[in-house]
Amino acid sequence: MRTVAVHEDVVVAIGSIWQTTCTAVRAGGEGFLIDSPILPAELEALPRLLEQAGFPVVGLLATHADWDHLLGPYAFPEASVGCAETTAARLAAEPGTAAGELRDFDEEYLIERPVPFSLPEAQALPVPGRCAVGELELELYPAEGHTVDGMAIWIPWARVLVCGDYLSPAAIPELSPSSSLDGYLATLERLAPLVDQADAVVPGHGAPLDATRAAAVLREDTAYIDALKRDGIDAPLPPTRQTGAQRRLHEYNVSLLP
């Protein structure tokens, strides 16, 4: 796991697998951790790393209900958990799904965890809305499309956008059984003005981006989703993401089309 400071109040940790990111933000002696790393050693190291950097964690935020964004309680078991109302509804409708998918992952990669996964009841946050951290506020925006739920988080004083599983420089847009192509496009359109204002954009998977690179990824992703709607399997992949793994992901996306 490596860390990148994108602002004096925002630190991003990038995991060793899937380039999964988690973002620590602080203000007024309080701090939140957005999303989580995956590997047990990274989760174990995170509290000390953030303490040494002066980032107190009083709460956890999850951008959406996919299991790889929900593991913060392993690092901070006493912290409260917040998420969008849509995510809280999905967690309630899919009890045990995240734990089961984590168990499958751990079995595949021979990973042992200190205790079984348990997610405390999450506080449902109104989205669009705001969430106080210290004397300042995070801005919360709907981010549906990749899944049926989700939120993006704008940190206005730092000009940092944490966007969940969107705008990844490492992977094409990924659909899911609950995806909506129109919802995905609506989220990209909603993120565009925030990207334009940002000094840094933090995708769920991949290193933080500056505004110019993030805007380029946004344009490529919009073109890909438009082409996927129109052309299905013949849709071209973004120019910088034409690997074998991304072609297989594209085939999976096509399999989910109505």
CATH code where residue 242 lies:
3.60.15.10
- Domain of residue 52 covers 2-255
Rg of the Cα atoms in the chain: 17
- Cβ neighbours of 58 (radius 10 Å): 16
Count of the separate structural domains present in the chain = 1
Residue 171 confidence (pLDDT): 96
Query: How far is 175 from 223, CA to CA, in rounded Å?
Result: 15
**What pLDDT digit, counting tens, does each position of 149-171 carry?**
999 999 999 999 999 999 999 99
pLDDT mean by block of 10 residues, the chain; 258 residues: 96 96 96 97 96 95 97 96 97 94 96 93 96 96 96 98 96 94 97 98 97 98 97 96 96 95
pTM: 0.95
- Cβ neighbours of 229 (radius 10 Å): 14
Residue 258 confidence (pLDDT): 87
Using DSSP's 3-state secondary structure scheme, residue 68 falls into helix
**CA 65 to each of CA 58, 143, 152: distance values in angstroms, whole numbers, following the listed order:** 20, 12, 13
Query: How far is 58 from 64, CA to CA, in rounded Å?
Result: 19
